[in-house]
């Protein structure tokens, strides 16, 4: 089944807001086994919107539209879709009641302005999708005989991500799944410390021979994710199809695999490793300025392993807080293997933690020299009295260099924890 996405809103078209809905929906449609060949963005203009919807319906079975379902005059998605499908708009009593309840609950009985009742107008015969987080319901409009789009479907979803995502996950995705003759099931294998090109080379033969299941790589900052997807009549059959490929990936990537769960992040995997070993960790950051600690603190329950962290941006702070010797800083400089080692060891002594991870580097865009260019980063890790330092040369902008440094720091900490077990 072929699907197409249309994002509605002049603010998206002009770049005033980032279109996160399209990225989310595209990925979810692919996981549902829908073929997605086109995406469009259209402003709040009736004629252009009508033309965009008609072209989408001519080449796709399902058209998913986000945005333009609000109460204002420029919210035209529902009206234009009804026009395309030759359907009248009728007030729905249940939707009107839900709008009233929502205002009483959220706005403490604030008077409802007349334009809000516009959201209770529904294309004739449409399936109403309840919105638990807003006033505009989602809608599924199916083309009747004589409409020119018989059997075609338009699915209208509110634009705010906190309304769009829950509605899609709880109601739209199951609806689309039921339309498919076979279900689509997938498993994830997340790999770190191996670059995208090398990782893809390691599975090139599997990708060349793939039929069902299929294997697709996705590059992330410091990571490569492999999605194994199978088409089958039920989940149990899909698991049987995926099992041999998953086992082969485990053989090829070994300890580089940090999780096989979709929802687990690298920082969550690292926190879990520390918890399992009943170990604590501390951080000492210079160029990353707390970004590394922030990644760890993103994990619920991080306080069980992270008691304190240090941002020592200046040389004076490195000396005073971490007790990096003045001689090391004078002889080797703040961005050096020696300083990274001293920072990691000083952080462990200061905090009494079982492990530490330290980052020092030149994020840019200024500050580099021929000997120490922008993007040069040293990361030190101490685990149970053993210290390892790695040198990196990143080539992104300031923010990207900091993000890469954080990813590599988490990877180094993980590697040192594994090494300590041997």
pLDDT at residue number 251: 98
pLDDT at residue number 299: 97
Architecture category of domain 183-259 in CATH? 2-Layer Sandwich (3.30)
Q: What is the pLDDT of residues 304-325, one digit of tens each?
A: 999 999 999 999 999 999 999 9
Q: What is the pLDDT of residues 174-213, one digit of tens each?
A: 999 888 877 788 999 999 999 999 999 999 999 999 999 9
Instruction: Return the number of other C-beta atoms located less than 10 Å from residue 111's C-beta.
Output: 8
Q: Looking at the predicted structure, is the pLDDT value of residue 266 above 80? A: yes
Topology of domain 266-421, CATH? Maf protein (3.90.950)
Q: What is the mean pLDDT of residues 222-243?
A: 93
Topology of domain 2-179, CATH? Molybdenum Cofactor Biosythetic Enzyme; Chain A (3.40.980)
Structure token pair of residue 188: 């994830």
Q: Write out the chain in H/E/C secondary structure.
A: CEEEEEEECHHHHCCCCCCHHHHHHHHHHHHCCCEEEEEEEECCCHHHHHHHHHHHHHHCCEEEEECCCCCCCCCCHHHHHHHHCCCCEEECHHHHHHHHHHHHHHCCCCCCCHHHHHHHEEECCCEEECCCCCCCCEEEEECCCCCCCCCCEEEEECCCHHHHHHHHHHHHHHHHHHHCCCEEEEEEEEEECCCHHHHHHHCHHHHHCCCCCEEEEEEECCEEEEEEEEEECCHHHHHHHHHHHHHHHHHHHHHHEEECCCCCCHHHHHHHHHHHCCCCEEEEECCCCCHHHHHHHCCCCHHHCEEEEEECCCHHHHHHHHCCCHHHHHHHCCCCHHHHHHHHHHHHHHHCCCEEEEEEECCCCCCCCCCCCCCEEEEEEEECCEEEEEEEECCCCHHHHHHHHHHHHHHHHHHHHHHHHC
Structure token pair of residue 14: 């002009």
Residues in Cβ contact with 162 at an 8 Å cutoff, skipping those fewer than 6 apart: 133
pLDDT at residue number 56: 98
Q: What is the pLDDT of residues 58-117, one digit of tens each?
A: 999 999 999 999 999 999 999 999 999 999 999 999 999 988 888 877 666 667 788 889
Q: What is the mean pLDDT of residues 328-352?
A: 98
pLDDT at residue number 341: 98
pTM greater than 0.85 (yes/no): no
Q: Looking at the predicted structure, is the pLDDT value of residue 237 above 70? A: yes
User: What percentage of the chain reaches a pLDDT higher than 90?
Assistant: 88
Q: What is the pLDDT of residues 389-414, one digit of tens each?
A: 999 999 999 999 999 999 999 999 99
Q: Looking at the predicted structure, is the pLDDT value of residue 285 above 70? A: yes
Q: What is the mean pLDDT of residues 270-294?
A: 98
Q: Looking at the predicted structure, is the pLDDT value of residue 131 above 90? A: yes
pLDDT at residue number 98: 87
pLDDT at residue number 200: 93
pLDDT at residue number 254: 97
pLDDT band at 25 (very low <50, low <70, confident <90, very high): very high
Q: What is the mean pLDDT of residues 122-149?
A: 95
Q: What is the mean pLDDT of residues 130-144?
A: 95
- Whole-number Å distance between alpha carbons of 371 and 376: 10
Lowest-pLDDT choice from 74-88, 229-243, 264-278: 229-243
Name the residue ranges covered by the structural domains of the chain. 2-179, 183-259, 266-421
User: What percentage of the chain reaches a pLDDT higher than 70?
Assistant: 99
Higher pLDDT, 75 or 33: 75
pLDDT at residue number 109: 60
Q: What is the mean pLDDT of residues 370-399?
A: 97
């Amino acid at each position: 089944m072929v699907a197409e996405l249309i994002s509605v809103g002049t603010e998206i078209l002009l770049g005033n807001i980032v279109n996160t809905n399209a990225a989310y929906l595209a990925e979810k449609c692919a996981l549902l086994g829908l073929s997605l060949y086109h995406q469009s963005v259209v402003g709040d203009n009736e004629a252009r919107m009508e033309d965009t919807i008609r072209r989408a319906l001519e080449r796709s079975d399902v058209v998913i539209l986000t945005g333009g379902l609000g109460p204002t005059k420029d919210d035209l998605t529902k009206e234009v879709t009804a026009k395309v499908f030759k359907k009248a708009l009728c007030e729905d009593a249940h939707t009107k009641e839900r709008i009233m309840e929502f205002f009483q609950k959220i706005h403490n009985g604030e008077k409802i302005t007349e334009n809000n009742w516009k959201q209770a107008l529904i294309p004739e015969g449409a399936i109403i999708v309840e919105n638990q987080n807003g006033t505009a319901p989602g809608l599924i409009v199916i083309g009747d005989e004589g409409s020119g789009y018989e059997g075609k479907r338009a699915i209208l979803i509110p634009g705010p991500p906190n309304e769009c995502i829950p509605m899609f996950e709880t109601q739209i995705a199951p609806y689309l799944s039921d339309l498919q003759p076979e279900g689509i099931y997938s498993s994830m294998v997340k790999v770190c410390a191996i670059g995208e090109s090398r990782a893809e080379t390691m599975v090139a033969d599997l990708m060349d021979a793939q039929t069902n299941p299929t294997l697709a790589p996705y590059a992330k900052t410091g990571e490569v994710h492999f999605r194994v997807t199978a088409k089958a009549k039920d989940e149990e059959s899909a698991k049987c199809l995926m099992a041999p490929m998953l086992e082969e990936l485990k053989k090829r990537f070994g300890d580089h695999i940090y999780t096989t769960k979709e929802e687990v992040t690298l920082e969550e995997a690292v926190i879990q490793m520390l918890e399992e070993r009943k170990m604590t960790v501390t951080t000492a950051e210079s160029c990353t300025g707390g970004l590394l600690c922030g990644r760890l603190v993103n994990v619920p329950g991080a306080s069980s392993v992270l008691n304190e962290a240090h941002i020592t941006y200046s040389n004076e702070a490195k000396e005073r807080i971490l007790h990096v010797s003045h001689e090391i800083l004078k002889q080797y400089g703040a961005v050096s293997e020696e300083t990274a080692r001293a920072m990691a060891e000083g952080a462990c002594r200061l905090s009494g933690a079982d492990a530490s991870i330290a980052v020092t580097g030149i994020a840019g865009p200024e500050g580099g020299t021929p000997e120490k260019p922008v993007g040069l980063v040293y990361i030190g890790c101490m685990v149970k009295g053993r210290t390892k330092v790695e040198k990196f040369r990143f080539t992104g902008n300031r923010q990207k260099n900091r993000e890469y440094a954080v990813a590599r720091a988490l990877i180094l900490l993980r590697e040192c924890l594994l090494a300590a077990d041997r």
